[in-house]
Structure 1
Amino acid sequence: MKQSFKNTFYPTWLFMVTLLLSHSAMASVQVESWQTQNGAKVMYVQTTQLPMLDIEMTFDAGSARDGDVWGLAAMTSGLLGTETSKLNEEQVSETFNNIGAQIGSSVSRDNASISLRTLTRPNIMQKALNTFETLVSDSQFSQAIFEREMQRLKIALKQKTVNPQAIASDFLWKTLYGNHPYAHPTSGTLESVDKINLDNIKAFYKTHYVASNAVIAIVGNVDKTQAEKIAEQLTKNLPKGQILPGLVTPKPLTQAQSIKIEFDSTQTYYSLAQLGIERGNPDYAALFVGNHILGGSGFGSLLVEEVREKRGLVYSVYSYFAPQKVNGPFLIGLSTKNASASQADKVVKDTLNAFLKDFSNEKLQAIKDNLIGGFPLRMDNNGKILGYISMIGFYGLPLDYLEWFPKQIEKVSKQDVLNVWDKLIKPGKMLTIMVGKPQ
């Protein structure tokens, strides 16, 4: 992420006002939830600062549901809402442009979502909602648009073959997950997307974009009565459908693996990984705090101190957990000169091993203070709140999660961190991937 240093030094009073407003925003986030008549889960937060409404509809329609047609979920998500039975692609675009509304879509391994942002002025909001509802429940898939988007997808997939970071990522997921539905790339491969056609797109849409698999997140300047009507409108024409079966739990590696992929580059792209945890795991708070000590907090982390500041091997090094419906990966990543790849690998592993044994109480407290103090800034606008309550709804987390999680961080002790990391992270059974010309 680009960062501008021109405006780094704010007046003290402005900083304090921002901080107070952020704390006020956090305190006022009251999440409510209910179900629509045909079974969709609704997550709702009222915000009155701006005359705006943000909606995200999330479906259990991610690439883990592709079956043997890899890329099917992503292509379906990309085509969703391009046309309806009454509006062609140009008319859809003009409708939203004329009222200043915005739509978007995304897809991951776990889910696919479509979102709307509009003003809450009644005539504008209602037109936006009417059009948005038809995009979701009456989406049409034309051969011409499908062929155009397929060509774009193939170009993007070809570009991935010359992107070392993408190559490393695909090998990481493939090796960690084997035959699991998470193993293949979300967008598929050049070989797999040739299996995609309009028939299986229409079938996927009919099976997965249903009320029983939907979470509707609503954030904005609408009261609960309005939110209830909006949720019913958005789902009234969706089929109820069936709740999909859960995903199987992936099996961790039984021994260390090392993969070196030759790539013509002056840099080596490095990953060290293993299976992590599922979303909602009770150990997440201690793992989250520990990860910020290890590599998740930028310049305050041990990896940055050891790999960058002391040895100058990298510009950036990081670590993170990516919780999913089932165990997502834990990853340490960096890029370095080919000549220093082996040294960087050793320093990363030595730093991880040292962290698993001990770290300073001062660093723990500094990280906790930073996380708790900065938590309100994670929810200082509608978009951020929308993302959080969509996650809470989709993964079945407690409604008070946004208040509960900072309290869990406060409770985390040094021994808690050491215990959960020792239980989960196995340095002798991790996957090492290097893409480049490591020496």
Structure 2
Amino acid sequence: MDAMKMIRQTGALLLTAFALAFTSLPAAAVDIEKVVSPGGVEAWLVRDAKNPIISLQYAFQGGTELDPQDKLGLAIMAASTMDEGAGDLDSQAFQGKLDDNSITLTFSAGRDGFAGQVTTLRETKDTAFDLLRLALTRPRFDNEAVERIRNQLLTSLRRSQADPNYWAQLAFGETLFPGHAYGRPQRGTAQTLAAVTRDDLVAFARTRLAREGLKVAVSGDITAAELAPLLDSLFGALPAKANLTKVADIQLAAPGKTILVPRPIPQTVMILAHGGLDRSDPDWYAATILNYVLGGGGFSSRLMDEVREKRGLTYGIGSSLQSYDHANLISVSGSTVNDKAAEAISVTKQIWGDVAKNGITEAELRDAQTYLTGSFPLQFTNNGAIAGLLLQVQRDDLGIEYLNKRNDLLNAVTISDVKRVAARLLDPAKLTTILVGQPTGITPDGTLYKP
């Protein structure tokens, strides 16, 4: 990592600490203003005049799943280079301005979107927003910066190959999403990263970033009247529509299969997964409580209690619900010593089946509702966190009143709702299992990535 970037990130941490110290938790209701610029760019705003910090976050449609097959990693490479100089400012001058004004400006590429954020003090907002405008509309992609970032990404990729979790994720994608964009390595390979050219990066910025589908969220010391014209300044020069390739929806493949990635390591990394449900599904809130009880609640979850506490088979195991634009799943991840892998997987599937058949208890329901609703205000501890929540709510199309309704929706879930969803969602026979290591007592259905 460059020294300038390290300094800038240190400044970002100081800004975050400042925000944590001076931003109070939200009141009973979150006051969200819908701001529409003269040019039609929309943003959601939570105004907070108690501290002089502004966080603006945004997301464009289309992420790493749109990378060409021969240039995987393009979106991540673009995200890593768009702050390496813009307009008349080369990388050193651009990042020097960020550092001198304690501004955080970053880009990121996810599976389904390309996002960014800027965090600034109110007194430096004009400089911050001007730098963001330049990065979005006039990124330089100087050859020196491109090659430096390419080498950093390649180095990171090589280091990852020593991590069994890296191979678990690769096998997970290839097994569950064969032939689909989700099955490809998001970070690319050494060959595909080497194939990305400066022209590819320029074309990415010109054709993939557009106003259609753009989501913007802002929290901090700025009024709606101040924000509206800034939205046109930031995003108004972008094209109306992006050039996006259509990606098909996919159902998870290989139900019930066990795939091994053999590695000479003392522990086995394991991922178990099968189909989940869409974020818009009315059963999402019952599934959220189900997941908390099953494995999302840390030491209070069934999996941690049975697999770790009672049997000592793992240091940690947990479950999660994941809803993407084109696929949904529920998964379990953890690790265990090689000679205990078969038992750990067997116990996990037993718990999966027991909850599917019998649901959860009233006490578990109450505990999950208490935790999930009571911990929710902790997500509002700073302007960056608030803006991030606003952005995710927009991306999930949950409506501007969601944050004020969310706890009521969770509290409305009944024990019969959870049992119904457990029977619908959990099927141990359909759990696809990915193992990395040299587990004993397991005969895999297939092998990937032999050393």
With the length of structure 1 as denominator, give the TM-score of the two structures. 0.90
Partner residue in 2 for 1:188: 188
Shift of 1:110: 0.9
- What RMSD in Å do the two structures reach over aligned CA positions? 2.0
Q: Which residue in 2 is equivalent to 1:176?
A: 176
Q: Which runs of 4+ in 1 moved over 6 A?
A: none
Aligned counterpart, 1:226: 226
Q: CA deviation at 1:53?
A: 0.4
Kept in 1, the 8 Å contact 2:355–2:422? The answer is: no
Q: Which residue of 1 aligns with 2:350?
A: 350
Say whether the 8 Å CA contact 2:44–2:218 is kept in structure 1: yes
2:100 equivalent among 98, 101, 110: 98
**Is the partner of 1:285 in helix, strand or coil?**
helix
Matched residues in 2 for 1:310 and 1:32: separation?
Answer: 50
Residue in 2 that maps onto 1:87:
89
DSSP 3-state at the match of 1:336: strand
Contact 2:353 2:427 in 1 (8 A): no
Q: Shift of the alpha carbon at 1:317?
A: 0.7
Q: Does 1:45 align with 2:46?
A: yes
Residue 138 of structure 2 is aligned to residue 125 of structure 1: no
- Once residues 295 and 394 of structure 1 are traced to their aligned partners in structure 2, the CA distance between those partners, rounded to angstroms, is 26
Amino acid across the alignment from 2:92: E
Which has the larger displacement, 164-173 or 279-288?
A: 279-288
Deviations 1:313-356 (A, max 9, x none): 11111000122223233210111111111110111111111111
Q: Which residue number corresponds to residue 384 of structure 1? A: 385
Q: Deviations over 1:251-277 (max 9, x none)?
A: 233631101111111111011012323
Relative to 1, partners in 2 of residues 1:402 and 1:245: Cα closer, same or farther, differing over 3 Å?
farther
Aligned identity (percent) is: 25
Following superposition, the deviation at residue 421 of structure 1 comes to 2.7
Q: Is the 8 A contact 1:41 1:393 kept in 2?
A: no
User: Counterpart of 1:111?
Assistant: 113
The corresponding residue for 2:443 is none
Contact 2:136 2:205 in 1 (8 A): no
Give the equivalent residue in structure 1 for 2:207: 207
Structure 2 equivalent of residue 30 of structure 1 = 31
Residue 383 of structure 1: CA displacement?
Answer: 1.6
- TM-fit CA distance, 1:90: 0.6
- Give deviations 1:1-44, integer Å, cap 9, x for gaps: xxxxxxxxxxxxxxxxx9x953xx04342223354455544221
- CA deviation profile, 1:163-188 (whole Å, cap 9, x unmatched): 10111011112211112221112211
CA distance in 2, matches of 1:58, 1:114: 6
Structure 1 residues 288 and 246: alpha-carbon distance in aligned structure 2, compared to 1, 3 A threshold:
farther
Contact 1:325 1:395 in 2 (8 A): no
Distance in 1, matches of 2:319 and 2:99, equals 40
> Given that residues 269 and 436 in structure 1 are in contact (C-alpha distance below 8 angstroms), is that contact kept between their aligned partners in structure 2?
yes
Cross-structure match for 2:4: none
Structure 1 residues 258 and 294, CA gap change in structure 2 (3 angstroms) = same
3-state SS of 1:210 partner: coil
Tell me: CA distance 1:318–1:437, structure 2 relative to 1, closer, same or farther (3 Å). same
Instruction: Give how far 1:245 is off.
Output: 6.4
Structure 1 counterpart of 2:179, which letter?
N
Q: Say if 2:79 and 2:108, in contact at 8 Å, map to a contact too.
A: yes
Check conservation: 1:257, 1:432, Cα contact below 8 A: yes
Report the CA distance between 1:99 and its aligned residue. 1.5
Residue 300 (structure 1) aligns with:
300
* Corresponding residue for residue 398 of structure 1: 399
What is the match of residue 250 of structure 1? Answer: 250
Q: Distance between the aligned counterparts of 1:131 and 1:152, measured in 2? A: 24
Q: Provide structure 1 residue ranges, at least 5 long, that are not aligned to the other structure.
A: 1-17
User: What are the superposed Cα offsets for residues 291-325 of structure 1, whole Å, 9 maximum, x if unpaired?
Assistant: 00000010110001100110011111100012222
- Summarize the Cα distance change of 1:243–1:420 in structure 2 as closer, same or farther, 3 Å threshold: farther
Amino acid at match of 1:431: T
Shift of 1:410: 0.3
**Structure 1 residues 172 and 254: alpha-carbon distance in aligned structure 2, compared to 1, 3 A threshold:** closer
Aligned AA (2:209): Y
Question: Deviations along 1:193-224, whole A, 9 cap, x unmatched?
Answer: 23311222221211111222422211111111
Separation (CA, whole Å) in 1 of partners of 2:221 and 2:214: 22
Q: Quick one: which amino acid aligns to residue 212 of structure 2? A: S
Shift of the alpha carbon at 1:137?
A: 1.3
The 5-angstrom pairing of residues 277-296 of structure 1 reads 277-296=277-296
**Which of 77, 80, 94 matches 1:78?**
80
Q: How far is 1:71 from its partner? A: 0.9
Distance 1:160 1:326 in 2: 27
Provide the rounded CA distance (Å) in 1 between the counterparts of 2:287 and 2:101.
Answer: 45
Q: Secondary structure at the match of 2:315?
A: strand
C-alpha separation in 1, matches of 2:83 and 2:24? 37
Q: Check whether the contact 2:36–2:228 (CA below 8 A) recurs between aligned residues.
A: no
Query: Any idea what SS the aligned residue of 1:33 has?
Result: strand
Letter in 2 for 1:196: V
Partner of 1:238: 238
**Residue number in structure 1 paired with 2:411:** 410
Matching of residue 429 in structure 1 with residue 430 in structure 2: yes
Q: TM-score, normalised by structure 2?
A: 0.88
Alignment of 1:317-396 (within 5 A): 317-358=317-358, 359-396=360-397
Match of 2:11 in 1: none
- SS of equivalent to 1:139: coil
Task: Provide the C-alpha distance between the structure 2 equivalents of 1:234 and 1:149, rounded to a whole number of angstroms.
Answer: 25
